Structure 1
Amino acid sequence: MKTEIPRVAIQGIRASFHEEAAFKFFGEKIHTVECNSFKQTFEALKNGEADYIVMAIENSIAGSILPNYSLLMSYSFPVVGEVYVPIQLHLMALPGVKFEDVKYVTSHPIAIRQCVDFFDEYPNLKIVESNDTAACAKRIRDEQLTDTVAIANSLAANLYGLDVLERRIESNKKNFTRFLILTTHENAKKKGGNKASLCFQVSNEVGSLAKVLNIFAQENVNMSKIQSMPVLGKRNEYNFYVDIEWTETKHYDACIRQILKYTQNFNILGEYERYEEEIAPLLPKPTKAKKYITIKKIE
């Protein structure tokens, strides 16, 4: 049963980029359900401990998060939305700590790699990798580490009471992560959209995939992404995950009818509104820690 305030399962803890994505899609008034893995977010939704999942699916630098495509098929929860979050990374420490006194820097390994240009200037700093950016900020607060800085977002600095020593230290300023929003079939509202995520297989014959792709072009439907993954245990068989966009529903409907003739195991993973920055709700301003709500952590 969906509660008035949505319960949103995320991989990671409060003030992670997943919670930032949840805020951007739902607004600030949510119950955040912290999970240790992406699979646990799906289990939380399956067991009625959450109403929605916010899950990263691709990054403009690191590429697709392939295991998450398998989760989409394994659990079959519908995709009902998407959101893009700019990955802005800041250097933060306990109040009063000076950068010249710092010996260690800690963050997720991907975040560290995305700041390599900054740290090339400080070879004396020792890198400590962790599994979550926000968890690194929390550890500095909990253990009162005066010789360590974390790389995380502004939400983490605010929630865990840290000072930002240097803003926007990421090497690439145009780095975005795309997140999908999923829910149960009962919670999914039947409404129109202009984007869909599909999954299908084609026969292992010359031109099989090309026939499907040509249908998109013929029906004036834009294919914004294609991702292939091997079918587990089957040689030379692949699932194709495709995102398509359209301006008129009749083109989408005609496209789907034709594709069914040339595919096997065809699935519509979700139909939803394409994310548009100019009409998307603005990310809430950082709030004080007491205003955050977390109902539980899924072990």
Structure 2
Amino acid sequence: MAKKKKLKIAIQGIATSFHEVAALTYFNEPIETVECLSFHQLCESLKNGASDYAVMAIENSIAGSILPNYFLLQDYHFNIIGELYLPIHMNLLVLPGTKITDIKTIESHPMAIRQCSEFLHSLNGVEIRESDDTALSAKRVKELKLKNTAAIANEFAAKKYGLTILEKRIETHKKNFTRFLVLAKRSNGKIESNKASLCFEVANEVGSLADALMTFKTNSINLTKIQSIPIIGRPSEYSIHIDVEWKRRKNYDTAMQEIIRQVKNLNVLGEYKKAKIEYR
């Protein structure tokens, strides 16, 4: 019997990064991760066929939305086929034997740094340095033997690179999670959906956005997120990104028939199944 080919999943970062944990959790089967050090590289990997799917972080409960990724969703026209809420626990990793008083520099991904701002503000005389990835920061500490540098990353990175967890769970709020989107080049019509991500534009007139959003309310559609993105080259004009949920598909279909007459450039980024938020 032929061996089943592993799915190739593009992730931002390297092995043991939160993106890899998210990918392994979502697909729940042996996969091959395609490491990308930027979200642009991640999108290019999916576009060029180097990966079958991509897992992209879109927001964090402490640090907020990752705005550049909304522009990427618009530019690449990928289809959102799923989502995942991953609990995020940040740890301060160092070479064995390093003490807190030895640390001169702490480095990690910008979003990780923002999630740990309260802890980092409590330190004096420590330089905070941004990097491409949490796991990559841990790898640098190990390979370069950086005795005065700490990395902010997860426990899997600590184990892989033989680092000591000097401080556990340094995230500002303990109920911390990141929402990841699962992207494909085309829609999978087999997915049973109860959530959708949309984007559109409205006229720059009083009440135009309110009227559009009211359409969802009157059709019993729950609006779970709204994010405005500037339209490049058109000052004071925005693309509106929303996430909506429904209990009856018919309500969603009716709302979409109405909304298409109220807005401009309506784009359905994906219809998929709502994920659960489970704190650990």
CA 1:147/1:228 → structure 2, altered by over 3 Å: closer, same or farther? closer
Who is 2:19 aligned against? 18
What secondary structure, in the 3-state scheme, does the structure 2 residue paired with 1:8 have?
Answer: strand
What secondary structure, in the 3-state scheme, does the structure 1 residue paired with 2:170 have?
Answer: coil
Contact 1:225–1:244 (CA under 8 A) maintained in structure 2: yes
Partner letter of residue 230 of structure 1? P
Who is 1:111 aligned against? 112
Structure 1 unaligned regions, length at least 5: 284-299
Who is 1:146 aligned against? 147
Contact 2:141–2:149 (CA under 8 A) maintained in structure 1: yes
What secondary structure, in the 3-state scheme, does the structure 2 residue paired with 1:24 have?
Answer: helix
Measured on the aligned residues, the alpha-carbon RMSD in Å equals 2.2
2:253 equivalent to 1:253: yes
Judge which range, 215-224 or 62-71, deviates more.
62-71
2:236 equivalent to 1:239: no
CA 1:207/1:115 → structure 2, altered by over 3 Å: closer, same or farther? closer
Who is 2:214 aligned against? 214
Tell me how far apart the structure 2 counterparts of residues 127 and 65 of structure 1 sit (CA, whole Å).
20
CA 1:113/1:230 → structure 2, altered by over 3 Å: closer, same or farther? closer
Q: Share of identical aligned residues, percent?
A: 52
1:46 Cα offset (Å): 1.1
The two structures have a TM-score, normalised by structure 2, of 0.90
Tell me how far apart the structure 2 counterparts of residues 233 and 120 of structure 1 sit (CA, whole Å).
37
Judge which range, 110-119 or 132-141, deviates more.
110-119
Tell me how far apart the structure 1 counterparts of residues 100 and 219 of structure 2 sit (CA, whole Å).
57
Contact 2:10–2:53 (CA under 8 A) maintained in structure 1: yes
Structure 2 unaligned regions, length at least 5: none
CA 1:27/1:95 → structure 2, altered by over 3 Å: closer, same or farther? farther
Judge which range, 193-202 or 101-110, deviates more.
101-110
The two structures have a TM-score, normalised by structure 1, of 0.85
Who is 1:198 aligned against? 198
What secondary structure, in the 3-state scheme, does the structure 2 residue paired with 1:23 have?
Answer: helix
Tell me how far apart the structure 2 counterparts of residues 69 and 130 of structure 1 sit (CA, whole Å).
21
Tell me how far apart the structure 2 counterparts of residues 162 and 139 of structure 1 sit (CA, whole Å).
11
2:157 equivalent to 1:156: yes
Tell me how far apart the structure 2 counterparts of residues 230 and 126 of structure 1 sit (CA, whole Å).
33
Judge which range, 6-15 or 267-276, deviates more.
6-15
Contact 2:63–2:114 (CA under 8 A) maintained in structure 1: no
Who is 1:76 aligned against? 77
Who is 1:277 aligned against? 277
Contact 2:37–2:132 (CA under 8 A) maintained in structure 1: no
Tell me how far apart the structure 2 counterparts of residues 121 and 62 of structure 1 sit (CA, whole Å).
18
1:181 Cα offset (Å): 0.6
